[in-house]
Structure 1
Amino acid sequence: MRSSAILALSLSAALGAALPAAAQDRSFNFSLLGGIAAKPDYPGASDYSATPLAGFTFGSLTYGGRAMGAGIGAIPKNGFRFGGSFRVVGSRRISDNPQLAGLKEISTAYELGLGVTYQQTNWNVFGNIRQGFGGHHGVTGTIGSDLIFRPSDRLTISGGPRINLGDSEYASTYFGVSAAEAGASTFGQFNAGGGVLGAGVSVRATYNLNDRWSLEGLASYEKLMNDAKDSTITQAGSEDQWTVGIGLSRAFTLRF
């Protein structure tokens, strides 16, 4: 009896020691950003408003002894890496923009997709592709490059050029004006096609407050191009699109 009890206790202790070690081999590291931004009321607008700022950053995934990604706060490893891409396009409401009377209203759109980056210590190049849900069901993408500066262990500043693309579904949703809309509004009819819809530059600064929390600031400029620029909606608004924002991000590590 006593030997059985000792054996049971020994097995329980061994199992208890093994489980945490196994859990450490399976983890998902990421960060969530929340804050506030000032951006155009809608694509092609000249008026700006405050809007929530949200973001997701992939850090690393460890499973079965294999690891992908360096983790939030670490300097990324050189070479190719894959990750997710997420963007929110705000709603377009007549109640908020009376000058759009006669045009269709557009609900908030959520874009989800994938991206690939070629990373070096002080620069990178990347491309993203996303599928829209909600306000539009088109496909969008971004091609860009960043120079990366690390003035201190806590501060990282990155920035570079961006080219934004969208298919005809996306372009017609935000920049097209149908015959019926032209008859009910002050905007002339316009058939918007896809392609390169804008180009500009983006800058982001991240200051690590500690291992979990970071303060982030961003600023970007985009000049609308081609059908996005020529749209009668943009002609009545502005082809120059600015965004500035600030927020807090928190890193998480889930073990499973």
Structure 2
Amino acid sequence: MTLRLAASAATLATLAAFPAAAQTYDAVETQSPVISTQSGSGLVFTLRGGVGTRPEYFGSDEYTAVPDIGFSLNYLSLGSFNFGDPDPWAERRGFGLRGSFRYIGERDASEFDELDGLDDIDAAYELGLGVAYTATSYEVFGNVRKGFGGHEGVVGEVGADAIFRPTEALRLTFGPRVFFGNDDYADTYFGVDADEAAASQFGAFDAEGGMLSSGLALGMRYRLTDVWGVEGQITYDVYRNDAEDSPIVAAGADDQWGARIGITRTFSIGGR
């Protein structure tokens, strides 16, 4: 544990030192700013592309590389209605709504000896909304999403971040996260039904929803130019309650790490 924590801290330090000359999980977060009265017209948005790492499946002690993709709506003008700020680096304050999207890859039991006998789980998409309150030195937020595909449950997360600005170009965030899922979600990824128990090494387990994990997230954003930047994040989560008690997790790991780094590029359509 100490070795992994040191490695993660070193990784973020490397990201933070990147020269100025870049849940849980395959995930895409869409963030929408608060309504603004600034003048302007058109559309301003930011795309992120990079690479990350996550567990092979929920509860796995093995990790795999995944693409890191993100989208942020910075500004939208429709007639006299102005939404957001055309400056992609503007620090927004107060309450704001945002979209929330997560992609969970399929779990193919045939690829993992320890899962032999369990049912496969298709890839899932989660769509929802979130609300956040941002001040100068902190942010608190909550998201709710509905699943489609591999699971059709409802999940949510709440969190808070302290915000640090060591330099004008660098912004760091650090804070706790708590993740919730309903019975459908919990039983899909952490449950073992009677047929699976008969065909696998696991005993039957009916996973119930509730708080399923808690953890910490350490993030960074570095401004390279007016339109280019770098974003990175390291996460650490520990399974709780029925997720922790799942025989699938017991055979793997109840703590889960994640990391990502990506290059961001802002695009403008129309006047500013």
Band of TM-score, shorter chain = 0.7 to 0.9
Q: Which residue does 2:117 correspond to in 1?
A: 102
SS state of the match for residue 75, structure 1? Answer: coil
Question: Where does structure 2 lack aligned partners over 5 or more consecutive residues?
Answer: 1-38
1:214 to 222, 225, 229: 229
Structure-1 separation of matches of 2:105 and 2:174: 24
Contact 1:75 1:121 in 2 (8 A): no
Rate the CA distance shift 1:163–1:178 in 2: closer, same or farther, 3 A: same
Aligned match of 1:70 = 85
Q: Secondary structure at the match of 2:202?
A: coil
- AA partner of residue 65 (structure 1): S
| Regions of 4+ moved over 6 Å | none
Give me the TM-score of the superposition, normalised by structure 1: 0.85
Q: 1:31 to 1:153 in 2, by over 3 A?
A: same
**RMSD value, Cα:** 1.8
Matching of residues 222-237 of structure 1 within 5 Å: 222-237=237-252
2:47 equivalent to 1:32:
yes
The separation in 2 between residues aligned to 1:141 and 1:32, in whole angstroms, is 24
1:43 equivalent in structure 2 = 58
**Partner AA of 2:43 in structure 1:** F
CA-CA distance at 1:134 after TM superposition? 2.0
Contact 1:34/1:52 (8 A) holds in 2? yes
SS in 2 for 1:192: coil
- Report the Cα offset of residue 71 of structure 1: 4.7
CA contact (8 A) 1:70 1:76 kept: no
Output the amino acid matched with 2:223. N
Over residues 137-158 of structure 1, what are the superposed CA-to-partner deviations in whole Å (9 max), with x where a residue is unaligned?
1111110011111222221111
Letter matched to residue 151 of structure 1: P
What's the secondary structure of 1:191's corresponding residue?
A: coil
Contact 2:40 2:82 in 1 (8 A): no
Which of 1 and 2 has greater Rg? Answer: 1
Which consecutive unaligned segments of at least 5 residues does structure 1 have?
1-23
Match of 1:204 among 203, 219, 235: 219
Q: Tell me if structure 2 keeps the 8 A contact 1:91–1:106.
A: yes
Q: Answer yes or no: is the 8 Å Cα contact 1:69–1:81 preserved in 2.
A: no
Deviation at 1:188, TM superposition (A): 0.9
2:16 corresponding residue in structure 1: none
Aligned twin of 1:137? 152
